[in-house]
Chain A
Amino acid sequence: MTHPGEITRRQLLRRIGFTAFVAGPGAGLLSACATAGTGAAPAPAPSTSLAASADPKNPFGVDAKKPLEVVIFSGGYTDAYAKEVHEELYKKAYAGVTIKHNATQQIGTQLRPRFVAGDVPDVLNNSGPESMDLTALAAEGHLADLTPLFDAPSIDDPAVRVRDTLTPAVLENARVNGMNLVLNYTVSHRALWYNAKLFASKGWTAPKTWAEFTALGDEAKKEGIVLFAYPGQKGPYYQLWNILYTAAKIGGNQAIIDIDNLVDGVWTADPMRQAVTAWAEIQAKYGDKAYFGLDHTQTQVKQLQNQVLFYPVGSWIENEMAKDIPDDFEYAIAPIPDVTANDAMPYGAIQVGVGENFVVAAKGKNPQGGLEYLRIMLSKEGARGFTEKTKNLTVVNGAAEGVELPAGLVSAAKAQDSAGQNIITEARFEGWYKELFDYGTEQTNRVMAGRITPEQFCTAMQKKADDIKQDESIAKQSRS
């Protein structure tokens, strides 16, 4: 799934089995996957050997005799899209090739030792709660440069380069340590999600201003419906996102960019303070504290039962709850209402982000095959297959044409159209400075529960951001 903390119950149990062993009383076992000894300095990625050639059929010079190993995070999307679509396409293109398919939910547990030992898979879907620190892997030269991939001819039209077939955010988000190393494959739309059928039956419309939002809250209260809820257990980051996006709506994308760049005083600046204050008030007046103790699934089920009006999440929600959606429920996206009279972004702005990381190992046995595999994923056929299997959109432009999409995705696509240029950027510190992000989710629960004031929230976050900035052991990233 695109959301990192998302874990299924089975996965949780499995994880517990593992972690209970690792961090037992002594916790000395932590180092069971210890260093491979004091090796030499990491070799730079062999980028020269991967230059794209002119041959549009096989630009990377893939050797069909070389096997390819693919590791897929088998979470909400499962691994069918890889096994039944992409790998089949690869085998069709290179007859006789063997593919070692490996699906797991424990990316970190399985692969961290392999990276340390130097026995790496060619293609890796780095996702889920145990996803690995790509910055650290990049610093070790483990990730192949994807520039040749982006510059290679696309499969559907050799005259068009791969980079021109993709949502621009892919290229922006590919960069780690100044190099193009990560392919984000999915597109998701984040804002507030509600039940369109309930709104239609009550004659309600999505609120455009904060006053309309609270008026609807009063209305809903009479019906015994909570205006807004987020899961305080396992999902408080949904609300942290929501606050960040609200701050971006008030102060423009620069608010989030500055947070990512650890700019001094950005957390205590007006946009952030206004966003937190607005949401803390909504929670205090229209919320229910029980949700602080419910997890995402429990909260989502309550929304399906029409007990919650708005829920801050991304477009994967529809597929996630697909089995449980009742007949009188239809997911639709609502942009965040205007907080102030002069928000930097007009009503309609939503967050459209790319996610689901794929990388190619630079020191693997078949990096050429890895790049080619990604090129196949980015073909129209590969992308359409993914959308059909997972009901989620990909970064490939126009690949979903002709695929029958569920109502929620259609509403998200419409919302993106009407948002036009007003697309809220994603907060990248979530991946860059996990410690700051985790601290943020904790503080989010505190401020929403009223245990600290919005001012204290801002001060605490700023202090943590300053600490991270000063910590030399943490590699710094920057964006624009």
Chain B
Amino acid sequence: MRRLRTYGFVAAFLAVPFVLYTVFVISPYIQAFQISLTSWNGYSSVVSYVGLDNFVRLLRDEVFWRALRNHGVMLVTLPLVTIAIALFLSFLLNLGGGPGGSGVRGLWGSRFYRVVFFFPQVLAVAVVGVLFQAIYRPDEVGVLNGVLARLGIEPVGWLIEPSLALWSVIAVMVWQGVGFYVVLFSAGMAAIPKDYFEAAALDGAGRLRLFFSITLPLLRDTVQVGWIYLGIAALDGFALIQVLVGNKGEPDGATTILPITIYNNAFSYGKVGYASAMGVALFFLTVTFAVLTLRTTRRERVEL
């Protein structure tokens, strides 16, 4: 009876989120799988099944592969760069200060910096997009090119040169993401008992040694979570690219990513079936990425 009451209590709380999740997340996913097997155009009341045709066509689609390649680049660089910068900053903020680098305090003014680093995270993606349009603007009015012009350097087409555009976009994503991971890692670092650092410092360990031998191993779980978040962010990027560069992954498809291709196919070209097939592909990519990351980075807990 008591058990029933406990579980009833839990079930009552779970029911609403469970229903919402099923209706708004699970069922659309299942429908996407269903629609990916059709040639539905988004209007027709008759839906005809075409088997795996959409997927066969996907393999031959140049734009799809270009999008995948861009995802690949983002998947490697975005987490790597963001986590490296975030770790460096949070180490300085939490453990970089103190007399002789004893590693128990942050740098002077670290609270202030922490807030500053978090600023970009507060801005909506659309705002960030518009902001960086002004920063990257390809004439002297642009913030970056204005500085370059003062130095007598020709303006650079940050977003209009196919070789630069994707990197410019990734730079914005890093800029926006770092603050969050600084806070995340700071929380992780705060959880590490100070005694370790003090003991190590007494034994003569420097800042570098402290970081690589104590901080990093004990932060492993947090970094891993950050890696997965960033990987998923790399597979999205839709809103930012849409606002910043355009709705076709300009220039020359250099910033094309799957969500953009999906959106165009579904809503501009009336190929909802085909777009759903891409959605399914993206779903498997995301899941594969998450599983792989969890697998490869899994290991025994650090014994303290």
Show the binding face of A for B, using Cβ within 8 Å.
Answer: 9, 12-13, 16-17, 19-20, 22-36, 38-42, 108, 112, 115-116, 130, 132-133, 136-137, 139-140, 142, 232-234, 288-290, 292-294, 434-435, 438, 441-442, 445-446, 449, 451, 473
| CB nearest to A293 among chain B residues | B138
| CB nearest to A29 among chain B residues | B28
Q: How far is the CA of A159 from the CA of B155 in the complex (A)?
A: 65
Q: Is the CB of A293 within 8 A of B157?
A: yes
Q: Is the CB of A289 within 8 A of B160?
A: yes
Contact code string B259-271 (vs A, CB < 8 Å = 1, else 0): 1101110111111
Q: Is the CB of B243 within 8 A of A12?
A: yes
Known: A27-B278, A130-B267. A292 touches B251 (CB 8 A): yes
- CB A367 to nearest CB in B, in angstroms, measures 18
| CB nearest to B256 among chain A residues | A442
Q: Is the CB of B47 within 8 A of A16?
A: no
Q: Is the CB of B253 within 8 A of A442?
A: yes
| 6 pairs, A vs B, C-beta closer than 8 Å | A19-B242, A30-B32, A31-B276, A40-B46, A293-B157, A435-B269
Task: Please give me the 7 A-B residue pairs with the lowest Cβ-Cβ distance, nearest first.
Answer: A293-B138, A28-B29, A27-B279, A290-B139, A20-B239, A39-B45, A23-B259
Residues 17-36 of B contacting A (Cβ, < 8 Å): 24-25, 28-29, 31-32, 35
A116 surroundings in chain B (CB, below 8 A): 43, 45
Is B68 part of the contact surface with A, judged by Cβ < 8 Å? no
Q: How far is the CA of A290 from the CA of B149 in the complex (A)?
A: 13
Q: Is the CB of B45 within 8 A of A40?
A: yes
Q: Is the CB of A136 within 8 A of B41?
A: yes
Which of A19, A136, A434 meets B42, CB within 8 Å? A136
Q: Is the CB of B157 within 8 A of A289?
A: yes
Q: How far is the CA of A16 from the CA of B41 in the complex (A)?
A: 22
Residue among B41, B125, B282 facing the most chain A CB atoms (10 A cut-off): B41
Q: Is the CB of B43 within 8 A of A136?
A: yes
Segment with Cβ contacts to A, from B6-14, B97-105, B190-198, B230-238: B230-238
Known: A31-B32, A289-B160, A451-B162. A22 touches B239 (CB 8 A): no
Q: Is the CB of B276 within 8 A of A17?
A: no
Q: Is the CB of A115 within 8 A of B43?
A: yes
Q: How far is the CA of A38 from the CA of B35 in the complex (A)?
A: 12
Q: Is the CB of B264 within 8 A of A293?
A: no
B260 surroundings in chain A (CB, below 8 A): 23
Is B73 part of the contact surface with A, judged by Cβ < 8 Å? no
Known: A30-B28, A30-B262, A442-B253. A139 touches B44 (CB 8 A): yes
Q: Is the CB of A438 within 8 A of B271?
A: no
Q: Is the CB of A25 within 8 A of B267?
A: no
Q: How far is the CA of A137 from the CA of B45 in the complex (A)?
A: 10
A23 surroundings in chain B (CB, below 8 A): 238, 259-260, 262-263
| CB nearest to A142 among chain B residues | B43
Q: Is the CB of B248 within 8 A of A294?
A: no
Which of A31, A132, A290, A441 meets B31, CB within 8 Å? A31
Residues 82-110 of B contacting A (Cβ, < 8 Å): none
Q: Is the CB of A232 within 8 A of B160?
A: yes
- CB B275 to nearest CB in A, in angstroms, measures 6
Known: A9-B130, A17-B126. A233 touches B250 (CB 8 A): yes
Which of A41, A115, A290, A446 meets B252, CB within 8 Å? A446
Interface majority SS on A: helix, strand, loop or mixed? helix
A16 surroundings in chain B (CB, below 8 A): 125-126, 129, 239, 242-243
Known: A26-B29, A26-B282, A39-B46. A20 touches B160 (CB 8 A): no
Q: Is the CB of B32 within 8 A of A27?
A: yes
- CB B169 to nearest CB in A, in angstroms, measures 13
Q: How far is the CA of A38 from the CA of B260 in the complex (A)?
A: 28
B266 surroundings in chain A (CB, below 8 A): 30
Is B207 part of the contact surface with A, judged by Cβ < 8 Å? no
Interface majority SS on B: helix, strand, loop or mixed? helix
Residues 172-188 of B contacting A (Cβ, < 8 Å): none
- CB A128 to nearest CB in B, in angstroms, measures 12
Q: Is the CB of B250 within 8 A of A140?
A: no
Q: Is the CB of B43 within 8 A of A140?
A: yes
Q: How far is the CA of A441 from the CA of B251 in the complex (A)?
A: 10
- CB A432 to nearest CB in B, in angstroms, measures 11
Which of A28, A137, A442 meets B248, CB within 8 Å? A442
- CB B118 to nearest CB in A, in angstroms, measures 21
Q: Is the CB of B41 within 8 A of A133?
A: yes
A233 surroundings in chain B (CB, below 8 A): 245-246, 250
Known: A16-B239, A23-B263, A136-B41. A293 touches B252 (CB 8 A): no
Q: How far is the CA of A115 from the CA of B39 in the complex (A)?
A: 18
Known: A9-B130, A26-B282. A473 touches B39 (CB 8 A): yes
Q: Is the CB of B45 within 8 A of A36?
A: yes
Known: A13-B126, A23-B259, A31-B276. A293 touches B243 (CB 8 A): no
Q: How far is the CA of A441 from the CA of B253 in the complex (A)?
A: 12
Q: How far is the CA of A9 from the CA of B238 in the complex (A)?
A: 17
| CB nearest to B233 among chain A residues | A25
B43 surroundings in chain A (CB, below 8 A): 112, 115-116, 132-133, 136-137, 139-140, 142
A13 surroundings in chain B (CB, below 8 A): 126, 243
B267 surroundings in chain A (CB, below 8 A): 108, 130
Q: Is the CB of B263 within 8 A of A22?
A: yes
Q: How far is the CA of A317 from the CA of B243 in the complex (A)?
A: 23
Known: A25-B232, A133-B41. A292 touches B32 (CB 8 A): no
Known: A16-B239, A26-B286, A30-B276. A473 touches B32 (CB 8 A): no
B268 surroundings in chain A (CB, below 8 A): 434-435, 438
Q: How far is the CA of A288 from the CA of B126 in the complex (A)?
A: 28
| CB nearest to B30 among chain A residues | A28
- CB A33 to nearest CB in B, in angstroms, measures 8
Q: Is the CB of A35 within 8 A of B47?
A: yes
A445 surroundings in chain B (CB, below 8 A): 250-252
Q: How far is the CA of A232 from the CA of B252 in the complex (A)?
A: 12
Is B272 part of the contact surface with A, judged by Cβ < 8 Å? yes
- CB B62 to nearest CB in A, in angstroms, measures 10
Q: Is the CB of B279 within 8 A of A26?
A: yes
- CB A300 to nearest CB in B, in angstroms, measures 15
Which of A32, A42, A234 meets B246, CB within 8 Å? A234
A108 surroundings in chain B (CB, below 8 A): 267
B235 surroundings in chain A (CB, below 8 A): 25
Q: Is the CB of A294 within 8 A of B137?
A: yes
A435 surroundings in chain B (CB, below 8 A): 268-269
Is B283 part of the contact surface with A, judged by Cβ < 8 Å? yes
Q: How far is the CA of A19 from the CA of B238 in the complex (A)?
A: 8
| CB nearest to B43 among chain A residues | A136
Q: How far is the CA of A445 from the CA of B245 in the complex (A)?
A: 13
B270 surroundings in chain A (CB, below 8 A): 133, 136, 434
Which of A35, A293, A294, A473 meets B35, CB within 8 Å? A35
Which of A24, A42, A434 meets B46, CB within 8 Å? A42
Q: How far is the CA of A158 from the CA of B109 in the complex (A)?
A: 83
| CB nearest to B267 among chain A residues | A108
Q: Is the CB of A293 within 8 A of B160?
A: yes
